[in-house]
Amino acid sequence: MAQLSLGSSPIYKAKFARSTIFDPKLKFLEIEQTQLGFWNSSKSNMALRLQASTEGVALVQETTETTPKLINDSSDSFTEMKNRFLSFKKHKYLENLERYQELAQAQAPKFLVISCADSRVCPSYILGFQPGEAFVVRNVANLVPPFENGPCETNAALEFSVTTLEVENILVTGHSCCGGIRALMSMEDEENSSSFIKNWVVVGKAAKSSTKATASNLSFDQQCKHCEKESINNSLLNLLTYPWVEERVAKGLLSLHGGYYNFVDCTYEKWTLDYQKSNPKQETGGYAIKNREFWS
């Protein structure tokens, strides 16, 4: 564990060692001054130690109370967070203690959910997942990069949930008014940028191209909405580029689903990718879906 005390830092120790080892006179002077200071202050130190032993709690409280509060809003936010946590502990954790003790030993979720990082679309809150039911990955615009793009946090979580946890369902869920998709649709073709956001959302460029080809007559806002759903299906197809995902889907051990949450009118669409091993895409360049549902 890192030490915050200056006296314990390696740099401090190294400097002190050099000053005492290479300058004997300085070392003797420091010892002499230390001894003199010790004898002169022994009485006052004794009094302070006595006061600390009898009023230690009061001294700590005084220090705490006089600490300046620089960010009042943050303090208020964490006070509310504390109250929510204690409420969770009382009404959820302790009332279901046996279940949480089981989860402390292992997890066996049936779902991997890939959702947007947008603060308005927490999948557990919207879809009611309870602890242990869903392994959740959240990123900007709920994108799944293809296998050939190389390692990233999203496919690391994908690998773990599929190969180790052996989830039975992957749900890629998007949402209305997605800022990540809007950034994708606003980008110029072949744009070079140092922006982390743009370099990430370009993963969805196939969805953007498809949207431009089929919805060019629509307004920009309508094109963004179209791309929000098209991007979900593009991510479902990207999932099949991972060998261990494609293998389990082909064996019927894993299903791939898309979902779209419209928080403007609180509706949810759900569908399943109809996997065809020989050709996951149709001749028209589209894809087959099944079990489409609309929840309202």
Alpha-carbon distance of 279 to 147, in angstroms, equals: 18
Here the tokens at position 31 are 């010892």
Minimal CA–CA distance to 112: which of 236, 289, 281, 243? 236
More confident residue, 221 or 28: 221
Q: Are strands 289-295 and 111-116 parallel, antiparallel or unpaired?
A: unpaired
| Pairwise CA distance, residues 234 & 207, whole Å | 6
Residue written as token pair 């080892």: 21
175 is known to lie in a ligand binding site: yes
Closest by CA to 179, choosing from 200, 156, 152, is 200
Q: What are phi and psi for residue 74, nearest 5 degrees?
A: -65, -40
Distance CA 168, CA 175 (A): 23
* DSSP structural state of residue 142: G
- 178 annotated to bind ligand: yes
Q: Please tell me whether 152 is known to bind a ligand.
A: no
Structure confidence by residue, pLDDT tens digits, 130-146: 999 999 999 999 999 99
Q: Tens digit of pLDDT for each residue in 24-35? A: 444 434 434 444
pLDDT band at 75 (very low <50, low <70, confident <90, very high): confident
More confident residue, 232 or 74: 232
**Whether the Cβ atoms of residue 101 and residue 113 lie closer than 8 Å to each other:** no
Q: Is 116 annotated as a binding residue?
A: yes
